[in-house]
Structure 1
């Protein structure tokens, strides 16, 4: 109860107790007046949102804030050029946005991620912070919105309904470019290096967790690199759905209160700021209503996460032991693994990878549910989609980066253990099928398992093949070589 009592105290009570009851300003909105801490850059609508939504304590992702700021910068430039707001106000808003993008006032974005539908609360938090910093730049005190108004100037020609879906697009593009793509590229390169390093090591394959024909350890790592490379391509394909912007559609996609040239100009400016070929959607209403681009990207992330889980589980199996497991490879120990068993090291990086991937899969399910929950001209579940999608990209990128650095790069192979398993695998009998027949091969495998004799001994004893033929057929190097393909 103590926790929840603390959580549900009103925001102004908390800040006033710190700042002193006289250290505030009065702001008005359509619902009345409220006291705002004098040093706060947010305003009355942000305050109401913090009171209404004390849900998780999770504040907006930094990348999402950046996306909103880039939008506000581009719209301020466009509206200034088009004469919709004065050049003086336009320049002040742009300067304020640049300052925050460089790291100032980040603590002023305080609205819980679970908030008013569509994201109005966070959107107004951004508008108020920019307006108040612009006022300071122009030599006016915060809260004096006659000079720079959060709605009339910072938000000119805009609506939550077109800004937030655009912010999700830009935030996702930023996260992909700065987090996931570099990590994937590094992981793919690392896996290829390990593949070359382990290429001559033969090990037993396993299907159904039972002995199978020999394979090359290096080819296993090369297969993982190929899998991740394919996922990289799928995600970059899905990314292209994010390029078409509904910004300029205003409240319902009709462009109400926007300049005729605004839509094209703001898309051009955002393209320059983000470094992507952004463009106005051919149908602004469609771009505002449908969450399908986010579902598409999230689905590609889920697909990647599923294969990452498989890879992380494979790493754990191959490293299992050291005395009672496979122990075909050694994952680098990065921390003690037990609070009670001395000398124990666990595959913690692989374990962490699986947990993050499970979270991404859960986020994807929530995104799918939220995407179909819109009605008519608006989907009010956008705050959930924004957080889950951008967070998925970033935690996947961070996970792959540390998995590469602290695990994949320093894996070593247990060459003798791999060879021992390969030579002892009953699945080698598969290579005898064309020469002695399936039934004879099955009988030999059964006898080998029951007597402990090697396949080679039994075949020679039965006179089914001579030594030269057997040596050629049971050549592990040849059996584990992949066929050449075009």
Structure 2
């Protein structure tokens, strides 16, 4: 079956395009040239182009270089793009020119064709709205694409990742309070240590999440500095005076984010240090989440032959061969997401280092990996909080048994008996398989009542360090 098509022209001649597609000649040429992979930009990036083109049209009107009638049609098409109406009209993979030129032109062409349609013209006419002369006016791919990178990252950070981290912090805080009086044995080097509470374990996790939120908050202000207005190389060639200021004001008005123009647009186009900084924060957060997820997995291991100190909620899934087996699937999902984020950071780091003179030429792969990190981290964190952490309970019987049998609570006797005599107690208890209390009494160092007064696990868990 032959698909109907139309002919469009660009600087290199005629191009055949499926008749129902809103992209144009440059996008179609790129489709035939870059037949690489299947990785496509997430819709948050392509929709951010709708915000960027709308703000550019408004700024051009304020600068007196674009007629209001043309700008209004561009704005309407750009709003539709931002709302997701034209998601299916961005067919390119991320494997394209390092400046992102083809995706910028894809946005220009879709908006121009839709704007012309609003004027009653057929697709491909470029009249009265031209993709380069009007939609791309006062812009270059070299400043527009990094601007969209910042916009998309800021939207995902504020609207998706931050709420997810807040949700997890809240869930951990609730569990910390719920388990505040539950004494357990701490572990260092994977071995038994002194008493603490399960509440303190979860309070530690909560503190890591508080630090995670601080890290992304620290990175956000530099995401809000945009290179738009630098055009081809950073000089602002063909951009009217005031365009960058008008652009950022229009973008801030619609997003609620305080975007400001970069005072040195060369830097914002040649390097993407702000995005690497954000990726570095995500990398750090991923390591925190790995620690939390793995600790919970280990503390919940069992139910009969593991530590069995935590009880995690049943997710309804099981083994394909072992009937009724329950696995910590949600924690394992988070762990895998963290692995991806850590790997993505390496790609983002190398991509940022791939700038030559006035232009970074690895923008597509950089932003693809950064946006994936933001998305998978946010989604997995939210599920982890909602479907696992909020339902965690403690196995009080197992914890009490561990505390009763613990050897190292006698560390509290160091100031009274001295290190060497306390070492004799632990050695005797371990050798004879008795409790430290029984060993201390047998050695004649203390009587039972003295031991109970001096070695109270709950009191030891509430030591001076936890009161600071």
TM-score range, shorter chain: over 0.9
- Asked if structure 1 preserves the Cα contact closer than 8 Å seen for 2:290 and 2:338, the reply is yes
Q: CA deviation at 1:482?
A: 4.7
- Residue by residue over 1:57-115, the C-alpha shift from the partner in whole angstroms, topping out at 9 and shown as x without a partner, is 12221111122111100001111232212111100010011122223121001110122
In the other structure, the counterpart of 1:387 is 368
In the other structure, the counterpart of 2:341 is 360
Matches within 5 A, 1:125-144: 125-144=106-125
- Helix, strand or coil at the partner of 2:360: coil
In the other structure, the counterpart of 2:67 is 86
Output the CA distance in 2 between the equivalents of 1:469 and 1:48: 86
TM-score by length of 1: 0.94
- Asked if structure 1 preserves the Cα contact closer than 8 Å seen for 2:49 and 2:82, the reply is no
In the other structure, the counterpart of 1:222 is 203
Gaps of 5+ in 1: 1-16
- Helix, strand or coil at the partner of 2:100: helix
Output the CA distance in 2 between the equivalents of 1:110 and 1:70: 19
Report whether the alignment pairs 1:438 with 2:419.
yes
Matches within 5 A, 1:406-417: 406-417=387-398
In the other structure, the counterpart of 1:371 is 352
Q: CA deviation at 1:286?
A: 1.4
- Residue by residue over 1:139-161, the C-alpha shift from the partner in whole angstroms, topping out at 9 and shown as x without a partner, is 11110013111111100010111
- Residue by residue over 1:174-227, the C-alpha shift from the partner in whole angstroms, topping out at 9 and shown as x without a partner, is 001111011111111111111111111111111111001111001111111111
- Asked if structure 2 preserves the Cα contact closer than 8 Å seen for 1:248 and 1:255, the reply is yes
- Asked if structure 2 preserves the Cα contact closer than 8 Å seen for 1:329 and 1:412, the reply is yes
In the other structure, the counterpart of 1:201 is 182
- Asked if structure 1 preserves the Cα contact closer than 8 Å seen for 2:186 and 2:192, the reply is yes
- Residue by residue over 1:422-443, the C-alpha shift from the partner in whole angstroms, topping out at 9 and shown as x without a partner, is 2211111211211111111112
Structure 1 residues 261, 352: closer, same or farther in 2, change over 3 A? Answer: same
Report whether the alignment pairs 1:76 with 2:44.
no
- Helix, strand or coil at the partner of 1:117: coil
- Asked if structure 2 preserves the Cα contact closer than 8 Å seen for 1:184 and 1:397, the reply is yes
- Asked if structure 2 preserves the Cα contact closer than 8 Å seen for 1:46 and 1:111, the reply is yes
In the other structure, the counterpart of 1:40 is 21
The number of residue pairs the alignment matches comes to 467
Matches within 5 A, 1:265-344: 265-344=246-325
- Asked if structure 2 preserves the Cα contact closer than 8 Å seen for 1:247 and 1:280, the reply is yes
- Helix, strand or coil at the partner of 2:14: strand
Output the CA distance in 1 between the equivalents of 2:169 and 2:399: 24
In the other structure, the counterpart of 1:405 is 386
Output the CA distance in 2 between the equivalents of 1:348 and 1:417: 23
- Asked if structure 1 preserves the Cα contact closer than 8 Å seen for 2:337 and 2:380, the reply is yes
- Helix, strand or coil at the partner of 1:218: helix
Report whether the alignment pairs 1:172 with 2:149.
no
- Helix, strand or coil at the partner of 2:27: helix
- Residue by residue over 1:296-315, the C-alpha shift from the partner in whole angstroms, topping out at 9 and shown as x without a partner, is 00000000000100111001
Q: CA deviation at 1:120?
A: 0.6
Q: CA deviation at 1:468?
A: 3.0
Report whether the alignment pairs 1:213 with 2:197.
no
Q: CA deviation at 1:485?
A: 5.0
Matches within 5 A, 1:90-109: 90-109=71-90
- Asked if structure 1 preserves the Cα contact closer than 8 Å seen for 2:62 and 2:246, the reply is no
Output the CA distance in 2 between the equivalents of 1:368 and 1:102: 31
Report whether the alignment pairs 1:419 with 2:400.
yes
Output the CA distance in 1 between the equivalents of 2:437 and 2:362: 66
Output the CA distance in 1 between the equivalents of 2:154 and 2:224: 9
Output the CA distance in 2 between the equivalents of 1:300 and 1:260: 36
Output the CA distance in 1 between the equivalents of 2:177 and 2:463: 14
Q: Of 177, 183, 190, which aligns to 2:164?
A: 183
Output the CA distance in 2 between the equivalents of 1:153 and 1:84: 9
Output the CA distance in 2 between the equivalents of 1:53 and 1:103: 24
Output the CA distance in 1 between the equivalents of 2:304 and 2:35: 51
Which stretch shows the higher mean deviation, 45-54 or 147-156?
Answer: 45-54
In the other structure, the counterpart of 1:24 is 5
- Asked if structure 1 preserves the Cα contact closer than 8 Å seen for 2:116 and 2:127, the reply is no
Q: CA deviation at 1:55?
A: 2.0
In the other structure, the counterpart of 2:213 is 232
- Helix, strand or coil at the partner of 2:6: strand
- Asked if structure 1 preserves the Cα contact closer than 8 Å seen for 2:15 and 2:25, the reply is yes
In the other structure, the counterpart of 2:228 is 247
- Helix, strand or coil at the partner of 1:206: strand
Matches within 5 A, 1:114-133: 114-133=95-114
- Asked if structure 2 preserves the Cα contact closer than 8 Å seen for 1:170 and 1:274, the reply is no
- Asked if structure 2 preserves the Cα contact closer than 8 Å seen for 1:60 and 1:110, the reply is no
Q: Which stretches of structure 1, 4 residues or more, deviate above 4 A after TM superposition?
A: none
Q: CA deviation at 1:466?
A: 2.8
Output the CA distance in 1 between the equivalents of 2:36 and 2:393: 46
Which stretch shows the higher mean deviation, 126-135 or 56-65?
Answer: 56-65
The CA RMSD over aligned residues, in Å, is: 1.2
Report whether the alignment pairs 1:463 with 2:444.
yes
Output the CA distance in 1 between the equivalents of 2:221 and 2:242: 24
Q: CA deviation at 1:32?
A: 2.1
- Helix, strand or coil at the partner of 1:186: helix
- Helix, strand or coil at the partner of 2:355: coil
- Helix, strand or coil at the partner of 2:107: helix
